[in-house]
Amino acid sequence: MKLTGVELRHIAMPLVAPFRTSFGSQTTRDVLLVRVVTDEAEGWGECVAMTEPLYSSEYVEGAADVLRRFLVPALAAAGPLEAQLVAPVLEPIRGHRMAKAALEAAVLDAELRATGRSFARELGAVHERVPCGVSVGIMDSIPALLDAVGGYLDEGYLRIKLKIEPGWDIEPVRAVRERFGDDVLLQVDANTAYTIADARHLAQLDAFGLLLIEQPLDEEDVLGHADLAKLINTPVCLDESITSARSAAAAIRMGACDVVNIKPGRVGGYLEARRIHDVCVAHGIPVWCGGMLETGIGRAGNVALAALPGFTLPGDTSGSSRYYRTDITEPFVLEDGHLAVPTGAGLGVVPVAERLEEVTTGMEWLAV
C-alpha cells in the first residue's frame, strides 16, 4: 500500500460514572484516534494515552506531537506500507509505544480491509467469543462498592476486578467476598500503589482466594515483584512492567510474575502483543487482555486479541455500556458474560459518522 495521509482526531467521551484508580479519577476520556489513508483502503487506530502523564509517561498531546513530527514522517519516508514493517521503521524513535501502537493498528486495519481479512484471523484467534470481566474503580464507600459489584454481576460479567490502594484494600475485598461468596472470580489491581515494605500487609489478601494481584509495585521494580511473589500466596500479575516480549521473558525468568496482563497499546501494538502471548504460552504463563477505557475502535482489536489460545482468564474487554452511554462504533453488547469477536475485514467496526462528529474536539490532516 502507498500512504496518502494520516488524520489525527481528538475526541472527548464522557464516562457514565467517574472512574477512580490509585493514580487519579476520570470523568471524561480524551482519546486520540488515528486514521491512515492509503491508495487501497483506510484504517483506524486508537491511542490509549491519557490526558496527563500519570498512568505512564505518555499523554494525549505528547502522542499527537510525536506522531506529527516523527512517526508519520518516518513511515511516509519508508516507502510501501506493510503492518509488519511499522515497528522496525519506527524503532529508532525511542519509546512512545502508545503512539506507535495506534499508528501500527491503523496500518494493520487498512491492510486487512484491503485484503478482506479480519484482525482475529490475522492474530490467530481460536474463539468466536471471549469471556468478559469488569474493572471496578475505587469508591467513596463500601456500600457503594457492593452496589456496583452487584450490578455488574447481574449484567453477567464473569470476573470482578477491584482497584485498590493503601487504605482501600483489605476491607473492600473482604466485603465483596462476604457479600457475593467464594465462587465469584475476583482479583485486585494496585496500579503500582505499594512497595515491598507492604508485603506483610498484602499477604492479608491471601485469605480471599483471589485470582491475582495486579502490578502491586512500581513498574520498574521487577526484582521487587520477584521478592513479593515469594512472600504472598496470591498470584502476582504484571501489567505496567511488561512493555515487550523481551521484558516479559525476563520477568518470567526472574520469577516476578505468575500471570501477565497484555495491553496492546502499552506494548507498542497488536503484533508485539501477540509475541508476548507466544512467550507466555511457551512458559506456561496464563495471560489476559487489559483495558484502557477504549472506544469501540480499540475494543474491537482487544476482543480479537483475547480470542487467542493463551488468553485463559477473562479480560477487561467489557461491553461498551460499562463506560459510555453511546460508543463511537456500533456498541459491543455483553451476552452470557461474553463478547462476540468481530469477523469483518480489518477491525470489523468503523466509527458512526454522526456520533464521531458529536464528540470530536479537534482534527488535523497530515499529508504525505
DSSP assignment of 36-60 equals EEESS-EEEEEE--BSSTTSSS-BH
Contact 192, 218 (CB under 8 A): yes
In the chain, DSSP finds a helix count (H) and a strand count (E) of 14, 13
The set of catalytic residues is: 163, 263
Handedness of CA 136, 9, 49, 123 (dihedral sign): positive
Beta bridge partner(s), residue 360: 11
Give the DSSP H or E segment for 21: strand 3-21
DSSP assignment of 117-172 equals -BHHHHHT---SEEEBEEEE---SSHHHHHHHHHHHHHHT-SEEEEE-BTTBSHHH
Write phi, then psi, for 242 (nearest 5 degrees). Answer: -95, 110
Q: What 8-state DSSP symbol labels residue 346?
A: B
Count of CB atoms within 10 A of residue 139's CB? Answer: 20
